[in-house]
Structure 1
Amino acid sequence: MKRILCFFMAAMSAINMQAAIEPGKTYRIVSANREGASLFVKNASLVDKAEVVIWTNTDVPAQQWTVLDAGNGEMLFRNVYTGKYLDASNMSLTQRTEPCSWMLVPIDEAQKTYQLKLQKKYLRVLTTTDGAQPLTGTTAQGWRFEEVEPQNTFDVAARRRMIDGFLEQYVQFKGQNYRTFMNGGWGEAETMEAILDCYEATKEAELLTLYEQCYRYMRYHVGASWNGGTVVSGYDWFGYDFNDDVMWLIIAAIRGYQNTGKQMYLDDAKRNFDLIYRRAYLGYVGMLRWAENSGDRNGSNSCINGPAEVAACYIAAASGDESYYEKARELYENQRQYLFNTVTGHVDDSVVFNPDNSKVVSRNTWASTYNQGTMLGAAVLLYRHYQDSRYKQDADRILAFAKRELCNEFGVVHVCQNADGDFQGFKGILMRYAGLYAREFQDKDTQKWLIGNAFHAYNNLNSLSFGHSAWQTKAAENHQYNGVDYSSSACAFGASTALSAACAVPLDHYYGDDTAMRELPTMAGSNQVGCDARWYTLQGTSVEHPQSGRLYIHGGKKHLVRQ
């Protein structure tokens, strides 16, 4: 009788466990030793066998785990963002591509609290600080399962959260109708552009108002001609030296005209473009000098020619003055001759000439997201106007190089892992002009690539919903990254780069007419659906699915829509 009673109680416990933790649902797995912290794939890594750590809850998919029934009373935990399974190897907690079964030992089923057991070892954590590595051993600890709605892909709500978190952290109020982010510098101009990126994606009037308030504050300090400096005023500006700094402000101005139709923005852009073009033009090679006081005065950089080409195309389109297109075309042709590999799509950084014979004295072949991005933008805009297929071919190769050489194996930009300085903002420039390319040519692969970068940056935000430009590293809750306080105004430019990725392409028709999906084959011995990372297009009959709400049946297989 005693054996029968024990068997009955064990059976009821298993039934209660199944009722408490339901396969197909998604949870945060929270350490009972630390409220508000849960299992997180370290740095949202997509790599097989990447560490899984304890981290403050930031409400991102890399902290979400979908429970799947593995049979025999065991469960699988699949990460919503990475698609990989919770595992423990060599005493450390990791994720892996192959399923790994866990036993849940109830502690308090009403509170969904369990011990997690893998074979004969229990999951425990010795320290609960962010980034701590849970271990397996004979000592058991409690873990609570908090049900959440899975965030299966980057969407409008995620983008909204990024915008709000950034604005809450970095907008500085400087009196009525005056706002700033960085108190000047070329990063201020680029951050204003990021706000325009957000406005163009959302059409929210408050964002356009914010841009105009920042522009007004800049103009209060810098004036109508931007070839000077404002060291005394407390608003950093270096137009007396760096021609590319001024060109970025010109682009921010002409984009203001595109979005408001206000003549002041066009006048400012045109006036200052003419000023910089006159002083920086190296007539013997038909290119622009980078700086008036820094570097070699017979040197020309992609970082001035690319932005100047973009600015000239925008001014030409806004004013109807064809001569600006001709300036853009000349600069582009000479940049293409001296600073571009037409086969690989590699954009060189700089070149120094002998002014007596126009021969190259030296060059720097470093490739950057900045230079790849601006020459990409120029190629797209020149193609739009002249319809010369060579510009499209160049754009294809420039972007392909960036995806191939400046990204990791998963397509996430891995260069410029900086939280401050000039490099912090480079990747946002590439995101912006890759978005222009994707929209101009309706390129779905580039759309997915951009959204993939935005989603990765989203997963590495902190709990206040902002981060830094080092997208491959989780933004720490103490706001420190490599000795830099990324919450400071000096880091607004870097933090804004993720906004440019998030707003680069429309999210409402991301898939276009062809819905991209992941096949989710049924696992052996289970009625639950597993997943892999293959992408393809199909059509089928939609039915309800308890996990995603949408499931397609096609050729006898199950396919989950990635929404």
Structure 2
Amino acid sequence: MKKTYMLLLTGFLIAAASCSKGNEGVKTETTKPGNSTTTDSPTFTTTDATTAYTAFNRYYYNPTKKLYYANTLQTNLGAIWTQAIYWDMAMNVYERTKDQSQMAMVNDMYQGGFNEYDGYNWGNTTTWFIYDDMMWWVMALARANQLTGNATYLQKAIAGFDRVWNGSYDPVDGGMFWDFKHSGKNACINFPTVIAAMRLYKITGNKTYYDKALSVYQWAKTNLVNSDGRVADHKIGNNAPGYEDYTYNQGTAIGAAIALYNETKNSAYLNDAKLIADYTKNKMCTNNILPAEGDFNEQGVLKAIFAQYIMQLIKDAGQTQYLSWIRQNVDAGWNNRDKQRDLCWRNYALPAPTGVMQSYESSSIVTFMQLCPPE
């Protein structure tokens, strides 16, 4: 999951690991995408949402492992942290359809993670080697408890949160370190920590979770969010923030702000979320279409995370001014799918390849379709 970035500071070259997710495996040749579809393509429907999810499972889900493959070759499972994102997708489908067979899928994926990742043993530093990998699962476990009422899911979420907090939080300067070596404080651990803490606060009523969420949010807003709503990827020591425009950082920052807004109704948090959404729409998009992240690497899943939280801004906070923009993206991505397999791609503006594809790059449109109401 690591990508290396270089910083030239006071004459020394410093290498550090970024939370932006890196390459996995060898890229396999695919057919080259052609020209984009026309703007008068049909709009997606709820039937399409089901079709997209069915196809995603057909080509990527391993029913024995109860987790997802990395790509259509079906040889290796996807990266550990992305499975938590796919679990969120499964929960989205259940919330949309209320289909009890989908509830079984939600529970199956918990068992798949349990079997594959040492029973969610957070002390296993071989299975879990980065704090943010744990926190994606903690968020999903807490949400699964909210959805199912299963107390075991909550116990695992609390234990995971405590493990990350005790190892990652900086009690002196504030904020969360993303790795065990404390090489930097990244958006991919700080904003998810706020979201996880607020979910645990809602479930348990334990105010220490709220206090932790507020502390981390204040640090992250001060150190990782620019005045125009641009979210930095990382901050190392006293150096300036490292800005790399990633949709998942924009998304989790929105999600953290909305979690606090929902609890407090303080309009300052809502304004933060809208500022971050506006930057994403106005500065990161081309013709309103979100960037094509993930050239055959885990970054393909980033927009699936963004989908989760921009839709919270729209639905939970009533900010429907963003809905037509999101629908435009969903329509573009769905109409440009590989129509033989109904698999979507990371680049919504171009037709999807017809060869080997990754679950990462196929996931975001499917996620959007479960969350975004059709016209």
Sort the TM-score into its range (normalised by shorter chain): 0.7 to 0.9
Q: Tell me the TM-score normalised to structure 1 length.
A: 0.57
Q: Which residue of 2 is the match for residue 466 of structure 1?
A: 343
- Point out the more displaced range, 372-381 or 220-229: 220-229
Q: Which runs of 4+ in 1 moved over 6 A?
A: none
State the Cα distance separating 1:202 from its structure 2 match.
2.0
Matching of residues 306-455 of structure 1 within 5 Å: 306-341=191-226, 343-353=227-237, 360-409=238-287, 411-418=288-295, 420-455=296-331
Contact 1:425 1:493 in 2 (8 A): yes
Aligned-partner Cα distance in 1 for 2:318–2:266: 18
Q: Which residue of 1 is the match for residue 61 of structure 2?
A: 171
Contact 1:198 1:499 in 2 (8 A): no
Aligned-partner Cα distance in 2 for 1:315–1:328: 10
Q: Secondary structure at the match of 2:347?
A: coil
* 2:120 is the alignment partner of 1:224: yes
Instruction: Give the one of 36, 41, 66 matched to 1:43.
Output: 36
Q: Which residue of 2 is the match for residue 501 of structure 1?
A: 368
* Cα separation, partners in 2 of 1:494 and 1:207, compared to 1, 3 Å: farther
Aligned-partner Cα distance in 2 for 1:414–1:274: 35
Q: How many pairs does the alignment contain?
A: 333
Q: Secondary structure at the match of 1:303?
A: helix
Q: 1:218-260: per-residue Cα shift (whole Å, max 9, x none)?
A: 1123213224255xxxxxx4x1x21000000111111111111
State the Cα distance separating 1:362 from its structure 2 match.
4.3
Q: Secondary structure at the match of 2:236?
A: strand
* Cα separation, partners in 2 of 1:282 and 1:216, compared to 1, 3 Å: same
Contact 2:34 2:351 in 1 (8 A): no
State the Cα distance separating 1:44 from its structure 2 match.
1.8
State the Cα distance separating 1:45 from its structure 2 match.
5.0
Instruction: Give the one of 472, 476, 498 matched to 2:353.
Output: 476
Q: 1:334-378: per-residue Cα shift (whole Å, max 9, x none)?
A: 01111111x31111111111xxxxxx1343122210110001000
Give me the CA root mean square deviation: 1.9
Matching of residues 523-538 of structure 1 within 5 Å: none
Aligned-partner Cα distance in 1 for 2:173–2:292: 31
Q: Which residue of 2 is the match for residue 282 of structure 1?
A: 170
Q: Secondary structure at the match of 1:345?
A: coil
Structure 2 unaligned blocks of 5 or more: 1-32, 70-76
- AA aligned to 2:349 is Q
* Cα separation, partners in 2 of 1:227 and 1:500, compared to 1, 3 Å: farther
Contact 2:294 2:301 in 1 (8 A): no
* Cα separation, partners in 2 of 1:376 and 1:41, compared to 1, 3 Å: same
Contact 2:130 2:179 in 1 (8 A): yes
State the Cα distance separating 1:154 from its structure 2 match.
1.7
Instruction: Give the one of 156, 161, 165 matched to 1:268.
Output: 156
Higher Rg of the two aligned structures: 1
Identity %: 23
Q: Tell me the TM-score normalised to structure 2 length.
A: 0.84
Point out the structure with the larger helix share: 2
Aligned-partner Cα distance in 1 for 2:350–2:131: 33
State the Cα distance separating 1:42 from its structure 2 match.
2.6
Q: Secondary structure at the match of 1:425?
A: helix
State the Cα distance separating 1:41 from its structure 2 match.
8.7
Q: Which residue of 1 is the match for residue 88 of structure 2?
A: 193
Q: Which residue of 2 is the match for residue 157 of structure 1?
A: 47
